[in-house]
Amino acid sequence: MKTIMNYFSAFLLLVALSSCTQGDITLDQFVATAVPFEKQQVLIDSNSFSLMIPKGWTWENDQEICDGKKFVLFITACMIGDAHTDLISIQKVKSQSNSNDLKTEYEHLLALTKKQSHGLKLVESGKTDVLSDPAYFFHIKSDTGTYGEMEAITFILKSEEQGFYYHLIAGASQTEKLMKNMSMMIHSLKTFKIRSKRNTSHHFS
């Protein structure tokens, strides 16, 4: 599991900036696609967050601290089928911009994506109201055309702890089941609830 997440964490940042092109499925399209599925609750503790994931998915709490306490991995849930893996990851990350301002953090991460290109592209990004809390998002995908490679949507939102942000990641394999599986994971992430907040303001900053 850690091998998958190490690759996926790098995948998050190593993206090439480009516009949404014909053939790309957008976040709005994934949200608009209703995929009925049974759910199970994931609750780490009463003071962090709760989340509903697809029933039957395996999940584990890989809580750890890396890189000078900049990265705390809370939970990874996945469905492994054939040679492809679809996953949901909830990460709590110390601000990479040394800021408690959500927009500043997002713009800093966006600037990082413009510096690196490894056969990946940014399909779309920006502010979103998909979640119950103010958030920004990145939608990235492998642009090699290889069947089964990863496509990911990451939401960035403030955590209950000042100077830390939640990264909510849905990663789906680019197969004929992409629409179904990504839609299911996005609707799972929509159930994400921060259970304890020091600052309950929902003002976009």
Q: What are 119-158's pLDDT values in tens digits?
A: 788 899 999 999 999 999 999 998 888 888 889 999 999 9
pLDDT for residue 14: 40
Alpha-carbon distance 143 to 102, whole Å? 28
* Selection from 63, 30, 7, 14 nearest residue 188 by Cα: 30
47 exposure class (CB count in 10 Å sphere: 0-12, 13-18, 19+) = exposed
Q: What is the per-residue pLDDT for 5?
A: 47
> What is the pLDDT, as a whole number, of residue 73?
63
- Binned average pLDDT, 10 residues per bin, the chain of 205 residues: 47 40 83 92 75 88 62 73 81 90 94 73 93 94 87 94 92 92 95 70 42
- pLDDT for the residue 121: 83
> What is the pLDDT at residue 181?
93
